[in-house]
A = this chain, B = another copy of it.
């Protein structure tokens, strides 16, 4: 199979820089998630790799070989389009069969492969329908089946599971991972579902305004975001801003926050600390429990939002609203308006240079 190298790629639409000097090395056989706000250039990047559009500058290689002159159909890619792009004139089965059939595959082989792919996306019985007779999620699954049935060397997935319910999405995730591992396809995956990005991918890249902001394995990005943007974009974070001290920062009101993760900064510089809401423990102020938590703040619960397996408490403190996530283990809840103490360890606190 083949890795994909994107080197210094830029692409503008008129005055708008959709991609700005992006370089990423997608390892052979890896599973790579691309994240970024709406309009940050994810689709544009995939289109460059596929060869539908060409960089203004920079180069793209697949399998070590520059593809500037390789037309789309020779790149051996599979793609799921954000809007699916199913062929309206063909049945579902013919859509899926298309890639095999243009390759001149044997009819019987095609029929088996297509059925297998449709079964895999749980549409085994809908092969005879036309795309316009399908629901949104069903269409998306046809697009997925169509892209994987050809066993491409690079799979480009533009929010391929966005229209699926959770259960189906998990099934598809498992299938995608299985296929990707079995045949070692290099997979590049755009998603807005953070859990999906975190659980499935080997590495994650975050784009913002056409630039690559941070890149690395999921836990690294989650645990050591390099910027406020990365911290808040992937997962949630409480951000404290102040002046760097030797081992943390001092907030404007004088409170010190100790941090053991992230940049080492000289004292006095502007800096931020990021703390994940789930790392903070919340308690009614009377109870003192664990001495290991060096950071502590007092506040008042303003709201609680139920979200299934956990709840988020919004705690007001010195004009800032802090979020605290508490797993819904069935224990008692805190009431709105209650005074609380928040604690967390310096190991859960990431120091970030202001930028």
* Chain A residues near B (Cβ < 8 Å): 13, 35-39, 42-44, 82-83, 133-138, 140-141, 158-159, 162-169, 192-195, 198-199, 218-219, 222, 232-236, 276-279, 281, 305-310, 325-330, 344-345, 347-348
Contact = CB atoms under 8 A, between A and B. Distances in A.
Contact of A309 (B13, B219, B277): B277
Contacts of A133: 13
A198 B308 contact: yes
Contact of A35 (B13, B165, B325): B165
15 contacts: A35-B165, A38-B135, A38-B138, A38-B165, A39-B138, A44-B135, A136-B159, A193-B193, A198-B308, A218-B306, A222-B306, A278-B327, A281-B329, A310-B327, A329-B348
B192 A163 contact: yes
Contact of A329 (B158, B169, B218, B278): B278
A309 B325 contact: yes
Given A199-B306, A222-B308, A233 B165 contact: yes
A347 to B, nearest CB: 6
A3 to B, nearest CB: 24
Contacts of A159: 136, 163
A167 B278 contact: no
Contact of A39 (B135, B281, B309): B135
B38 A163 contact: yes
Nearest to A234: B308
A136 B99 CA distance: 25
A91 to B, nearest CB: 15
Given A13-B133, A137-B192, A309-B325, 10 more contacts: A37-B168, A38-B135, A43-B135, A164-B192, A165-B192, A169-B192, A198-B306, A234-B308, A278-B309, A329-B348
Contacts of A135: 38-39, 42-44
A38 B135 CA distance: 7
Given A38-B137, A279-B330, A233 B308 contact: no
Nearest to A328: B278
A78 to B, nearest CB: 19
Nearest to A312: B199
B306 A219 contact: yes
A206 to B, nearest CB: 10
Contacts of A306: 198-199, 218-219, 222
Nearest to A169: B192
Contacts of A235: 308-309
Contact of A141 (B38, B137, B140): B38
